[in-house]
Amino acid sequence: MTSASGSCQTIERTLRETWADLFGAEVSPYDDFFEIGGNSLRVVDAVIAARQRGIALRSSAVFRNPTPARLAESLTLGAAGEGVRPPAALTADSPAAADPTERRRLTRITTGEGSPVFLVHSDRYAGAERAAALGWCGGRPVHGLVLPGTDGTDPWEGSLTGLAEAYAAELLEARPEGGFALVGVAAGAVLAFETARVLRARSAQVSALVMIRPDLPGQAGPAHPQEALEAQLARVARLCGLGGEESGEQVLARLRAEGWYDGETPAAELPRLQRASAALAVALAGYRPRAYDGPVLIVQDERDAGPTEEVWGPVLEDDAVHWTDYGVESPGPLLADPEIARITREELAR
């Protein structure tokens, strides 16, 4: 028995069931153990009950991560990578890539009335992002900017600024009159920021920029693609509780349960998707944001308050921050939060 005995989603569900039995009431992923009736004595009961269900748990972990979602993440993504073996479904050769000259990054997500909103996709949450955008945009048309490597083409091998320049060129071609409202999630938020900066440098108006749970660029991270790929594969293996023999369909099902990818992603694309994430990680590690004087709304979790202020504070002149307290790495709960949808909708309507 190990602390990461199963996928993040499986461990979270088991913890919720365990706590529900202890307290005699349904428990959500974000219920705080100590706010639903727990105390130091009940922590011991919770630890014993979790161990009986196959999860090796320490009392200190519950005190540090008092919700099922946070605790499950700490037991998977926080686990040591030794002995983790990604299955061949993540490392096999991908099908031949589509000709990038025949693919446009700009895609239509939904039609509507008024000026469009441009959603810069991340490498992992495109399906959830598209669903959330319907609530963010208040009936306006929504277009998406797709990350290379997630659309059947080869992953991006240049700088993050270079990719943002390509995005900006396509946006200006589609909407030469300007007037851009952009929103991005995780790595897509950083790309949205740099795309907005490039647009403004080209004298295009950017009316609104929303960054939801933005990644923190320029931090210590992998400098080489192979190192980044190995880290990405280990992360997926831990998150999904993989043993190394799973089929592509099994891996994909577990990743979708964690909110990754969308219903149209084929299992054969998994290796290319991992390379796309690794290439993006290298680009993010080498990126340094520059000054931006337009309006910006950042939606961020309080656990990342210090690094967020350190990275983004010095380069923003007209920013507002909405703090949340989910305490998990995944932006999933933010994408489903109706209050965040309202705040985002109001900002994008500027």
Question: What is residue 138's predicted lDDT score, i.e. its pLDDT?
Answer: 87
Q: Is the fold of 8-76 the same as that of 100-220+282-348?
A: no
Q: Residue 253 is inside which H or E element, if any?
A: helix 248-257
* CA–CA distance, 219 with 215 (Å, rounded to integer): 10
Task: Provide the pLDDT confidence category of residue 84 given band limits of 50, 70 and 90.
Answer: low
Distances (CA, A) of 119 to 59, 106, 143, 226, 330: 41, 9, 6, 29, 18
Task: Provide the pLDDT confidence category of residue 140 given band limits of 50, 70 and 90.
Answer: very high
- pTM of the entire structure? 0.93
Question: What is residue 3's predicted lDDT score, i.e. its pLDDT?
Answer: 44
For CA atoms 341, 118, 256, 220, give the dihedral sign.
Answer: negative
The 10s digit of each residue's pLDDT in 147-203 is: 999 988 999 989 999 999 999 999 999 999 989 999 999 999 999 999 999 999 999
The proportion of the chain whose per-residue pLDDT surpasses 90, expressed as a percent, equals: 82
CATH placement of domain 100-220+282-348: 3.40.50.1820
Question: What is residue 264's predicted lDDT score, i.e. its pLDDT?
Answer: 87
Q: What is the mean pLDDT of the chain?
A: 92
Where in the chain are the domains?
A: 8-76, 100-220+282-348
The 10s digit of each residue's pLDDT in 218-231 is: 876 777 889 999 99
Mean pLDDT score, 62-84: 84
Say which DSSP state 319 is in: E
Question: What is residue 157's predicted lDDT score, i.e. its pLDDT?
Answer: 87
Question: What is residue 83's predicted lDDT score, i.e. its pLDDT?
Answer: 55
Task: Provide the pLDDT confidence category of residue 2 given band limits of 50, 70 and 90.
Answer: very low
Question: What is residue 220's predicted lDDT score, i.e. its pLDDT?
Answer: 67
Burial class (CB in 10 A: 0-12, 13-18, 19+), 240: buried
> For 258, what's the count of Cα atoms within 13 Å in the CB-facing half-sphere?
27
Q: Look at residue 1 and tell me whether its pLDDT is greater than 70.
A: no
Task: Provide the pLDDT confidence category of residue 131 given band limits of 50, 70 and 90.
Answer: very high
Contact 68, 20 (CB under 8 A): no
Q: Look at residue 328 and tell me whether its pLDDT is greater than 50.
A: yes
Question: What is residue 6's predicted lDDT score, i.e. its pLDDT?
Answer: 82
Buried (b) or exposed (e) across 319-336, using 16+ Cβ within 10 A?
bebbebebbbbbbbbbbe
The 10s digit of each residue's pLDDT in 272-314 is: 999 999 999 999 999 999 999 999 999 999 999 999 999 999 9
* CA–CA distance, 78 with 327 (Å, rounded to integer): 14
- Name every residue whose Cβ is closer than 8 Å to that of residue 162 and which is 6 or more positions away in sequence: 156
Chain position carrying tokens 């039995």: 21
CATH placement of domain 8-76: 1.10.1200.10
* CA–CA distance, 205 with 110 (Å, rounded to integer): 23
The 10s digit of each residue's pLDDT in 219-275 is: 767 778 899 999 999 999 999 999 889 999 999 999 999 999 988 899 999 999 999
